[in-house]
A and B are shown apart, each in its own frame.
Chain A
């Protein structure tokens, strides 16, 4: 008996209801997730008082409708019968019986096979249940929803500071104060006080003032009052203010003086002056001029004439070549003109402005140099004039006038000497300023590692550093030493194998009891530190020993001794001067990298004689 698919339709209806319910539940859960997210945002806004209470409740109520609406829409969405039937077939392994029968039941004239299919399907329907095809289950996204609810509850409990709006006051950024090791500062102070002494000798007020100002800067650094930027701007200002002399121009003057010396060489009376001028010894030249002036009256008339001739020849006006400097000055002038023209058409061109400033500075520098050179030329002309006047007076038999003229020439020579000393002092000051700048730059940039490195370097340069090696020290034994002992000199220590110990025989009392640490010498001391008292009861004989004059210690002995006893030895000073001079020459000649150059210079600063 068949019912033309009524049973099938009823089953489909039941399954469809279940499916719709489940779908509504799933979609409503997703809607609830969206609602809880928006509620979280609303609560947050309410807590920070970004929205009013009324707005909050209204928005919350509006968003609360979202899951309900979504659920309803999902529940009443179309669900095709074929889908439901196939779901039933699939879950019950019915080989499309329900879907096929459902279609056949709607046929106008079902064939025998169709009817047989429907009847056969009805036979199987007893085993089919809607709950198996569409079982109720928890919504898929329920876990997420619960998590969001927990977050929402937490947010509701949390309190936000909302009473007063927080005012964030932007703090003016303090420039970081420069911290430099006081020992390094003390060393630099010492270097510049030495420079100050030199400047006093050279009568260079600029370098003296520079050294004074630098001392002030060092004091400020010790008090930690300067930042890096302030320090470097001060140094730049000092350099601009005090170190403006040009050694190159004075060299030109010296060349002319040497030529003058060459002309004076032939005369017997002026031979010594010529010699001094040729060797660049202006002080001697001055003294020789004064000597000549003193003995002028005693000279025979013939010699006076010869001398006058020689002086006149020496005083020939010499014109220093200006072309090179003029060419140099012309270049920035031309560039300045071009840049000004360019800036007229494009006044906002920053690059052109920068170039213009740079060229102006260069031009100023060159002009200053030209002025200095002109002044020197004037002084040279004055010397020439005095020599010519002396020569003329000698020819006119006016010895006193000639003597006075030679004395004035000697004074002029003295001025040249002072000027040269001043320039030398300035040059030295410049070099030391450059070293100081490099040192400060490294100290202020390096950070912990670098300053540590420098500290280590400083110690090693001073012969006090510890090696990096892991070698174990010898001499663990205990005991009382007598007689001849051994001292060890630590040289460098940067090797891998530990420290290099050089035994030096001495006549000092033996070392005492000590326990050497693993990587160095012992720290303990013998209780009998002075050794045993002199045995007075022994036979004695008083002998006078005369000292022997000899060549003195060798260089290596001097160096080793200095490392042992300090850098205040006179012999050491000589050795140091020789070595540092050679090093300076090599540094000038060779293309040594800046970093290495700095360390070499620093090393020699640190081991300089005290």
Chain B
């Protein structure tokens, strides 16, 4: 009996090891394939893949021309998933995203309503310049992003899995834009900020885009495999002290708590929601698996903290007036928060 148990546990361990190896291998392949087209921005690619595997959505922020759309398109190509691009404009209506019921006539001449699916019915959605659409249109994405289904005329339509929204926004042009509401921001797992490429990266970009060289990515992973990888991710355990650190970090983003840092007290109006802690743990798990570890560590939490929490903090007037960024507040919190509880 005891021998049987030992054998079972051994099998489980071997199985876990195999899953982790496979997970790591698949992600590496995916990264390599994306890297064929996308120059540099390894951290962004890694962040987007993390969200894809964690089942979250990504908000990409960066000035135009840094390859945001290209990144999403390439990722969709590599994972063999359907890809839709929605260019958000002020006159875009919810029906333009979700779809609408249309009257169609069948072969018997009978007319009936038929639902015409909108671009949301894809696996990977690129919501380009999301902050240019009106709040009404933006909120049309809310249900889809959170529940992974849409309801039109009392009929609910499930979205295909995996479902990933990659929204982009331009931080420069604020005129004629509608900043995303806090509720919608909270639905993004990560907010990634795309930096301007380095000189070496710019050289590579120019060589690839101004010559006859036309690198193409190929499909290296399927949608089913991504769903399986998500299952693997969910099975990764997290030690209590690591989870406790994530919670303390979350609490530290709130003013007037025991863990609050000075800058939080001074500049933050509202801290991150519990979704922030979920994002921290899921992101940390992905990083642990990518590192070949079987559980997340505090250092993983710290690594994903900026991406997972920066869009969840709401600064007060003083913070806005002084030009304080949420990244600065989070960095101070990370610096001051002890890894040991109590």
| C-alpha spacing A113/B9, complex, angstroms | 10
Mask, B5-25, CB within 8 Å of A = 1, is 000010111111100100000
Is B17 in contact with A103, judged by CB distance below 8 angstroms? no
Chain B residue with minimal CB distance to A83?
B340
Tell whether A367 is near chain B: CB-to-CB under 8 Å: no
Give residues of chain A (97-131) contacting chain B, Cβ–Cβ below 8 Å: 97, 99-100, 103-104, 110-117, 119-120
Mask, B38-53, CB within 8 Å of A = 1, is 0000000000000000
| C-alpha spacing A388/B288, complex, angstroms | 142
Is B242 in contact with A104, judged by CB distance below 8 angstroms? no
Hey, which chain A residues are within 8 Å of B340, CB to CB?
82-83, 86
Is B294 in contact with A114, judged by CB distance below 8 angstroms? yes
B172 CB, min distance to chain A CBs, angstroms:
38
Known: A110-B9, A111-B12, A112-B12. A117 touches B237 (CB 8 A): yes
Chain A residue with minimal CB distance to B13?
A115
Give residues of chain A (80-96) contacting chain B, Cβ–Cβ below 8 Å: 82-83, 86, 89-90, 95-96
- From B255-263, B296-304, B325-333, the one touching the partner chain is B296-304
Is A104 in contact with B295, judged by CB distance below 8 angstroms? yes
Chain A residue with minimal CB distance to B232?
A113
B151 CB, min distance to chain A CBs, angstroms:
37
Hey, which chain B residues are within 8 Å of A113, CB to CB?
16, 20, 235-237, 294-295
Tell whether B203 is near chain A: CB-to-CB under 8 Å: no
Is A86 in contact with B241, judged by CB distance below 8 angstroms? yes
Residue among B11, B241, B294, B300 making CB contact with A117, cutoff 8 Å: B294
Chain B residue with minimal CB distance to A96?
B297
Is A116 in contact with B20, judged by CB distance below 8 angstroms? yes
Hey, which chain B residues are within 8 Å of A95, CB to CB?
288, 291, 293, 297-300
Known: A95-B299, A95-B300, A96-B298. A116 touches B17 (CB 8 A): yes
Chain A residue with minimal CB distance to B292?
A120
Tell whether B239 is near chain A: CB-to-CB under 8 Å: yes
Is A112 in contact with B242, judged by CB distance below 8 angstroms? no
Tell whether B240 is near chain A: CB-to-CB under 8 Å: yes
| C-alpha spacing A96/B241, complex, angstroms | 9
Hey, which chain A residues are within 8 Å of B293, CB to CB?
95, 97, 117, 120
Hey, which chain A residues are within 8 Å of B297, CB to CB?
89, 95-97, 100
Known: A116-B13, A116-B16. A111 touches B299 (CB 8 A): no
Interface centre among A83, A110, A117 (most CB of B within 10 A): A117
Hey, which chain B residues are within 8 Å of A97, CB to CB?
293, 297
Give residues of chain B (70-107) contacting chain A, Cβ–Cβ below 8 Å: none
Mask, B310-342, CB within 8 Å of A = 1, is 000000000000000000000000000001100
Chain B residue with minimal CB distance to A114?
B237
Is B241 in contact with A112, judged by CB distance below 8 angstroms? no
Give residues of chain B (276-298) contacting chain A, Cβ–Cβ below 8 Å: 288, 291, 293-295, 297-298
Is A100 in contact with B239, judged by CB distance below 8 angstroms? yes
Chain B residue with minimal CB distance to A100?
B239
| C-alpha spacing A110/B237, complex, angstroms | 10
| C-alpha spacing A86/B245, complex, angstroms | 13
Is A103 in contact with B239, judged by CB distance below 8 angstroms? yes
Hey, which chain B residues are within 8 Å of A114, CB to CB?
237, 294-295
B131 CB, min distance to chain A CBs, angstroms:
37
Hey, which chain A residues are within 8 Å of B11, CB to CB?
112
Known: A86-B339, A112-B9, A116-B17. A99 touches B239 (CB 8 A): yes
B154 CB, min distance to chain A CBs, angstroms:
43
Is A119 in contact with B13, judged by CB distance below 8 angstroms? yes
B321 CB, min distance to chain A CBs, angstroms:
39
Chain A residue with minimal CB distance to B8?
A112
| C-alpha spacing A110/B297, complex, angstroms | 18
Hey, which chain A residues are within 8 Å of B16, CB to CB?
111-113, 115-116
Hey, which chain B residues are within 8 Å of A116, CB to CB?
13, 16-17, 20, 294
Known: A111-B12, A113-B294, A116-B17. A104 touches B237 (CB 8 A): yes
Is B15 in contact with A96, judged by CB distance below 8 angstroms? no
Hey, which chain A residues are within 8 Å of B15, CB to CB?
112
Residue among A96, A115, A117, A120 making CB contact with B299, cutoff 8 Å: A96
Known: A100-B297, A120-B293. A115 touches B240 (CB 8 A): no
Is B13 in contact with A112, judged by CB distance below 8 angstroms? yes
| C-alpha spacing A492/B235, complex, angstroms | 110
A16 CB, min distance to chain B CBs, angstroms:
15
Hey, which chain B residues are within 8 Å of A112, CB to CB?
9, 11-16, 235
Hey, which chain A residues are within 8 Å of B17, CB to CB?
116
B231 CB, min distance to chain A CBs, angstroms:
12
Is A111 in contact with B237, judged by CB distance below 8 angstroms? yes
Chain A residue with minimal CB distance to B12?
A112
| C-alpha spacing A115/B295, complex, angstroms | 11
| C-alpha spacing A104/B240, complex, angstroms | 10
Interface centre among B237, B240, B295 (most CB of A within 10 A): B295
Hey, which chain A residues are within 8 Å of B291, CB to CB?
95
Is A96 in contact with B242, judged by CB distance below 8 angstroms? yes
Chain A residue with minimal CB distance to B299?
A95
Footprint of A on B, CB under 8 Å? Answer: 9, 11-17, 20, 235-237, 239-242, 288, 291, 293-295, 297-300, 339-340
Q: What are 12 pairs between A and B in contact, CB < 8 Å?
A: A82-B241, A95-B291, A99-B241, A100-B242, A112-B12, A112-B16, A113-B295, A114-B237, A114-B294, A114-B295, A116-B16, A116-B294
Footprint of B on A, CB under 8 Å? Answer: 82-83, 86, 89-90, 95-97, 99-100, 103-104, 110-117, 119-120
In the A-B complex, the 9 residue pairs with the smallest Cβ-Cβ separation, listed nearest first, are A112-B12, A112-B16, A96-B297, A95-B297, A117-B294, A100-B239, A115-B13, A116-B16, A116-B294
7 further contact pairs, Cβ within 8 A, besides A96-B295, A103-B240, A113-B235: A96-B297, A100-B239, A100-B241, A103-B241, A104-B239, A112-B15, A117-B293
